[in-house]
Structure 1
Amino acid sequence: MPSHLRLPDTMKVIEISQPGEPNVLALAQRPLPTLAAGEILVKVAAAGVNRPDVMQRRGHYPPPPGASDIPGLEVAGVVAAVGSNVQKYQPGDQVCALVAGGGYAEYCQVDERNALPVPHGLSLVEAAAIPETFFTVWVNVFQRAHLQAGETVLIHGGTSGIGTVATMLAKAFHAYVITTVGSEEKRQASLALGADVAINYHIEDFVEQAKLATNGKGADVIVDLIAGEYVEKNYKAAAMDGRIVQIGTQNGVVKELNLMPLLLKRLTHSGSTLRARSVEDKAQIADDLAMKVWPLLERGVLKPQIFKTFPLEQASQAHALMESSAHIGKIVLTI
C-alpha cells in the first residue's frame, strides 16, 4: 500500500451496534481497509447521508456480499494510497466516489473505476453530495426512462437529495419539470431550483395538478421514491406510453392495485437499486456522468444542494434529521 502519507493503523468509523433508532449509531475504531488490485484508499473529508443508510440502520437493507458493514454509500476526499494496477489516480488526487458501504469512516477503500475527480470549483463537502444521487438519477431517469428534451417529468419528493438532483438534471437537459413537495417553503425551494410547477401534496391532488399543467396529457416520466398509494395515482398521472421509475418505497407496499391503466396507457413501470450493481455496471454509469454531467458541474450549471453538515461523531443527529424530512437537499457528514 504505497503512499506519500504516513497512514495510521486504525481509523474512526460509525458502526450500527444493533438495528434500531438513530442512537444505535456508535463511534468505534477499526483497522484500515486492505486494498485489492485496482483499489484506492481515500482519506475521507466528507460522506453523504442517504435514505438507504437509514434503511440499513433499521435492519432492512443489508450490505451486498463482500461490502463493508459500515454505512455510507458516497465519499469525497484525497487519495492516500493505491493498490496494484491502479491506472487513473495517485496519492494526493481529490476524488469523489460511489461505494457499496464503508463511507462513515476516516478512510474508505474504493474501486478506482467507481471514483471520479472532484469537479473543478466544488468543495469536498459538495463533492460528497454527488455520487449516490447523481448516479441514481442518471441511471433511472436518463438510461432507463430515456427522458428527452421537451418531455414532462413528475418528480416526487422534489426537495429530497434525489428530488433536487433530478430537478436540476432534467432542466439542464431541457425537460418540463413538475415536483411534489410537503410545504410552502419546500414548494418555493423547488421552484427556485428550476421546477416549472411544484405541487404541495398536502393541499393539492398531484394527479389533478399534473394533468392541469400538461393540458390533460400527463407526465411522460415519473420518478417515485414513495410507493404505497402513489403507485395507482402515478398510473393516473402518466401520459400515454409513460415511463415510471421506482427508486424507493417510503410508504411501503401496495395493498391493492388496478393494473388496467398500465395496459390501456401502455405504461412501463420499472424499479432498480444501485448498491448491489456490479463494479463494472457502476463504472459505465461513472463514464457517462464524466462525459455528460461533469462539464455541467464544472460550469456551475448544476450545484449540489447542501442542507446541513454534521461531524462524523454526530451521525445519529444526521439520521434523525433525515428521518424528519425537514431537509431541503443533502445532509453530509464531515471528517
Structure 2
Amino acid sequence: MSTRTNTPQTTGTPQTTGPTAVPSWTVGDVTVHRVDEAPLPPATGAWLLPGATPDVVSGQDWLRPHFADDEGVLRLDSHSFAFTVGGLRVLVDTGIGNGKERANPAWHHLDTDYLQRLTAAGFPPDSVDLVILTHLHADHVGWNTREVNGEWVPTFPHARYLTSRVEREFWAGYDMEEARRQMFRDSVIPVEEAGLLDLVDVPADGAEVVPGLRLIPTPGHTPGHIAVELTSHGATALITGDCIHHPLQLAHPGIGACVDIEPERSELSRRALLGSLAGTQTLVLGTHFAPPTAGRVVAHEGAFRLAPVPAGSR
C-alpha cells in the first residue's frame, strides 16, 4: 500500500496486548512464521480496492467468514513473514512501525508489540540476517528503523536490507509529496546511510538470493515490486507482497488498488502470477491476508479462489 492523504479514517490507535502463539506453516524443512503487527481498519478495503463493492464481495461466498464479513466488508492485516533458509534468518517486509509520523491516521504513531512477537517467533532483531522489502511503501518498511535517543536507527543492525534496483531508482526520481518524503526520511534513508541497503537486479525469470529463496518480478503496484518464492524439499511457498492485496482479487483479478502506480501492469502481473499458481501445491502467503492468511489457488467460476491452509499445516 502507499501513504496518501485520502486514506481511510479511524479512531484510536491499533494496539496489541502481548505476544501470543506465533502462527506458522511448514514448507519442506522450513518453518514460515507470521509476525503480526495489527489488523487494518474496516474502512481500508473499500478505500484501497474501490472495485470491491459489497455486492461484488458478497458474490463470493468462500470469502466468509475469514476474509470478509456478512456485510461485504473486507478484512485486511499488517504482518511480516520470518523464516530461516540457506543459513540466513530472513524477514519479508517490516510493516508500519511504531511512532512514525504518517498521513494515514490508522498508521500514525502506532504502539504495537511487533518486536516482542518477532522475538517470540525466534527472531530477535539482532539475529536477523536479511530483510527483503517487496517494495518501498510505508506499510512495508516501517520497522526498518526504530527510534533511539531521538534518532531513527536500523532495527536490524546485523542484517542486509534488500529491494529491487528498479524500485529504489524509481522513487529516487519521483516527485514525492511530503508524507512520502517523511517515510523515506525515517524508514529508508537511515538504512542507506548505515550502508545496509542492497539493490538487486531482478530479471523476468527472477533472481536467486540463496538456494531456495528467489525474488519474482511482479511490477505494477510499484515499478519494482517483487514477490518472494521459497522452496524446500520439493515444497514451495509464495509471499505476495502487494501484487495481491486480498483474496477477492483471485476471483476478480481486474480489481486493482487505488495506489497502483501502473494499474494495467499490476493486473497483468496478478493474472500471470495466479495462472502460474492455480492447481499447484504452492502455498500462497498473503502479505495483507487476514487469518488464516495462507492457502492454495484453485480454479473457480472462470477465475480463481483461495483454498485456505490454516497455520500449523504443511
TM-score interval, smaller chain: 0.3 to 0.5
* Structure with the higher fraction of residues in helix conformation: 1
- TM (normalized to structure 2)? 0.33
Q: Is the radius of gyration larger for structure 1 or structure 2?
A: 1
After TM superposition, the score normalised by the length of structure 1 is: 0.32
